[in-house]
Amino acid sequence: MNNHLSIIGVPMDLGQMRRGVDMGPSAIRYAGMSERLERLNYVIEDLGDIEIPRPKSNKEEKLDNLRNLNEIAEGTQRLAEKVDGVVEKGHFPLVLGGDHSIAMGTLAGLAKHYDNLGVIWYDAHGDLNTADSSPSGNIHGMPLAVSLGIGHEKLTSIYGDAPKIKPENIVIIGARSLDEGERVLIKEKGIKVYTMHEVDRMGMTKVMDESIDYLKDRTDGVHLSLDLDGLDPNEAPGVGTPVLGGLSYRESHLAMEMLQQSGMITSAEFVEVNPILDEKNKTATVAVGLMGSLFGESLK
């Protein structure tokens, strides 16, 4: 793994309806992220936070059934430019959210540098909705579909018109809350998904071994997009859309350790940390602990 890490905070809370997730980057920094990674001999460059535009009115507005469409498109465009610049310098981009809509910008910036970018989507949700299939109009439930080129043109065209990723280069891990439209899209596109049923039946070691084997020969880089609601809410309570029956703290550390050992991860983001919903910054602390494992922390 590249030992120069460039940290990008994205205080985005426009992709959903629960306030507070814009403070996620600050909460993660406060939990000791930089100090922990520096102890692992990484060179840390904190680029601060992307400026996110605010809606002009406090009244809720939807455009084409999409909440805060223009502001999210503008904010993620800025993020894409920043990520592109980090990779251009030869550094590892580590993005802090913010809600999961930011992944549209992260993937758009990364896609400029890879022909077959792989994605590990560690999440309770598929985030494969569109304006037509979404029950809520919340864009944080759409970034994976958008990155496949499916969705509103204002989002799919962020930092380039073409799809940013290919369906055969995606692995979703920890899914347990999929809308009907997402299920249809998963089958139609042949997206590889490990639900909690597979994790429980196979064990995390087997799930990660298969995921790594699946991606290693078909991709030229792999991005980890980790939503803290992938973990069980008992482990990570400070998230906006908690779903019971999630991944454990121990399973998640094992997953991060195996990804580190694989040497395949070329970028990462940790999203949906909401300190207002949290207990004594527990979820941000979990996020930092998982970063430690991803970047090589070991008991040996």
Residues marked active site are found at 100, 123, 125, 127, 140, 227, 229, 272
For residue 238, cis peptide bond before it (omega within 30 degrees of 0):
no
* Phi and psi at residue 131, to the nearest 5°: -60, -35
290/248 Cα distance (integer angstroms): 12
61/67 Cα distance (integer angstroms): 6
Residue 21 · residue 273 · CB < 8 Å: yes
Strand 221-227 to 117-122 pairing: parallel
Q: Residue 25: which of 288, 297, 294 has the closest Cα?
A: 288
Residues 6+ apart with CB under 8 A from 297: 36, 40
Name the helix (H) or strand (E) containing 200: helix 196-202
Residue 10 · residue 52 · CB < 8 Å: yes
Residue 138 · residue 17 · CB < 8 Å: yes
